[in-house]
Structure 1
């Protein structure tokens, strides 16, 4: 991975979460395409070549541990500004106190929230609305392996999927664990036990996502890819 900005020559320092998101984006790039990110120092655009596919991978590689979540209880990010220019969020979740908490957190960061209680209802909603964020409770359809809606999201064309921040919430998820998000074709995973901090999690994760992928989405929009 690139270590210095080609424009200002300053060293690029990425957090583990940012590195995981960059690798996720590189994995999804079509052959011959490049990923564009912004230099945190001079704000210049930096293009990164896609990852080469190899037949074998090292057998001794170990996945990184889930992130430390101690900062959730400190109030850090709680006073951050609302997310800007994010119009609508779809929440696919059965009626419950947990759903109410998710909806309130979404509203607190600036989303307009639409609720669906079945996969078919959610899919119909998405036919007519370009949602910027979609949240699925993994237990709604008896787990991801049985989820019609999750399968729908996984098979969605990248022309549309790249503009959706897809969140999975469930008892088995490990909050902010990007490797798990990558393996489940999501942008963010959140454990049910951390839902009381969901607004804080959104304030941290959404700006990071937009900072990393905003430039390439802007370029695609400029070329009429949206």
Structure 2
């Protein structure tokens, strides 16, 4: 298996960064490392789709303008919006954008993501992700435990 599609074992929490801007990548990378994630960085929409096909990521941080796309026409976001819920439920998807309201549940719901984050709040990314991921894990805790007991996950 190539390094681009490396699978992680041993209980690592994994994350994928989908952002073209190297400064943003560094900030996102630092926040995810602080939260103890093993991190991959995607370089294009095709690269993202390949990585997601071969790896199970716990967290994906996506810039709405990733790979030259617009917020309305983001191929990666559309992929996750159309993913069957049985698979999508196991991925925490954070969307970063210029006009998004941070931690706004209606915005997140309308975009089919777990959390919306405004670019201006990136300095607080580790705290935003920690709170949002913890809330998400608490929300799905009983559901995931039931799946495990039934041998489905």
Instruction: Identify the TM-score tier after normalising by the shorter chain.
Output: 0.7 to 0.9
The root-mean-square deviation of aligned C-alpha atoms, in Å, is 1.4
Return 5+ residue gaps in structure 1 as ranges: 1-84
**8 A contact 2:17–2:29 mirrored in 1:** yes
Cα distance in 1, alignment partners of residues 145 and 54 from structure 2: 22
**Given the alignment, which residue of 58, 62, 65 partners 1:136?**
62
1:223 positional shift: 2.0
Cα distance in 1, alignment partners of residues 129 and 12 from structure 2: 12
Return 5+ residue gaps in structure 2 as ranges: 1-10
Higher relative helix content: 2
* TM-score, length-scaled by structure 2: 0.87
Q: Does 1:123 align with 2:49?
A: yes
CA deviations on 1:37-95 (whole Å, 9 max, x unpaired) are xxxxxxxxxxxxxxxxxxxxxxxxxxxxxxxxxxxxxxxxxxxxxxxx66100111114
Aligned residues: 142
**Given the alignment, which residue of 106, 110, 113 partners 1:186?**
113
Partner of 2:140: 213
* TM-score, length-scaled by structure 1: 0.60
Shift in alpha-carbon separation, 1:144–1:220, aligned structure 2, 3 A:
farther
Cα distance in 1, alignment partners of residues 21 and 102 from structure 2: 22
The structure that has the greater radius of gyration is: 1
